[in-house]
Amino acid sequence: MTGVERDSAFEGSIPKLYEEYLVPLLFEPYATDLASRLAARSPARVLEIAAGTGVVTRRLSSALPQDVSIVATDLNQSMLDMASSVGTARPVTWRQADAMELPFDDETFDAVVCQFGVMFFPSKSQALSEARRVLARGGVLLFNVWDRIEENEFAEVITAALESCFPADPPRFLARTPHGYHDRAAIKRDLELGGFDVPPRMDTVAARSRAESARVPALAYCQGTPLRAEIEARDKSRLTEATEAAAAAIARRFGPGPVDGKTQALVIAVDR
């Protein structure tokens, strides 16, 4: 498995841990934000890409009128299986799909939405071009990405802790991928390469990440994301040790619990 493939692999026990820990820890406030922004546009046909375990899908199914169609896709069928098992307020269509080559006709949707997925695409401009292709004229692409790791406290602390565990070859997944695509000029350039000729609107949105103990974010990041594969690639027997080191580092910084850290993201909207 290549580094790019490993960074995008949400398999095994990851979907369950992701839904149980990461969704309430990180994703819920941003999902609510995206859903409210999209509801203000009154779309009739919505495509979600990189839906994960469905936190945005659930918000959309509640925020949008019953007659709005919602198709939620993800590269990883295991994530969609988890999303489907959790369920939504009303029926949606779940479909496995690669954002690099969407299986939909041109101009099929009024809105394409993506929460914290663009960072994982091997070619950002190609995926953005596909999003534009399936958008109807006058439609909107709405997505968010994490800001730099220094603005996201738990991720920064955990990355530093793992550097002490593996000094010769520290796992850099969090800095490289989730927090590696925040440069506004680069995002604008990729949108232009993807065919968008209207300037995007970019907002900075901060939130708080809260958990009952320091162990929760350590477990969420180290075992509920592809960071797990990166740790295990170095030494599979040290996953528990790495998780405990991350928990200890969070406890030193924020106390043993409850813990409360800053998160920050960019929200991008661009019209077709």
> pLDDT digits over 122-135, tens only?
999 999 999 999 99
- What distance in Å separates the CA atoms of residue 51 and residue 77, rounded to the nearest whole number? 11
C-alpha closest to that of 130 among 98, 162, 163:
98
Of how many residues is the chain composed? 272
Note the pLDDT of residue 11.
63
State percent of the chain over pLDDT 90.
94
Cβ 211 vs Cβ 25: under 8 Å:
yes
Q: What is the pTM of this model?
A: 0.94
**Does residue 3 contact residue 70 with C-beta atoms inside 8 Å?**
no
Closest to 220 measured CA to CA, from 183, 247, 248, 190: 247
Tokens representing 9 are: 């692999």
pLDDT digits (tens, 9 = 90+) for 82-93: 999 999 999 999
The per-residue DSSP string of 76-135 comes to -HHHHHHHHHH--SS--EEEE--TTS--S-TT-EEEEEEES-GGG-SSHHHHHHHHHHHE
Taking the C-alpha atoms of residue 191 and residue 151, their distance in angstroms, rounded to an integer, is: 24
On the 0-12 / 13-18 / 19+ scale of CB atoms within 10 A, 208 is exposed
Q: What is the mean pLDDT of the chain?
A: 95
Reading the block at residue 147, the tokens are 């800001």
- At 54-104, the pLDDT tens digits run 999 999 999 999 999 999 999 999 999 999 999 999 999 999 999 999 999
Which helix (H) or strand (E) segment holds residue 223: the answer is helix 215-223
Element (H, E) at 198: none
Question: Which residue range is the domain that position 170 belongs to?
Answer: 3-271
Digit-coded pLDDT (tens) for 215-228: 999 999 999 999 99
Reading the block at residue 87, the tokens are 């369920």
Q: Tell me which DSSP letter residue 150 carries.
A: G
Q: 3-state class of 166 per DSSP?
A: coil
Count how many domains the chain has: 1
Cα 186 versus chain centre, distance? 18
Q: Give the pLDDT of residue 257.
A: 85
Q: How confident is the model at residue 3 (pLDDT cuts 50, 70, 90)?
A: low
CATH, residue 238: 3.40.50.150
Distance separating alpha carbons of residues 158 and 163, to the nearest angstrom: 9
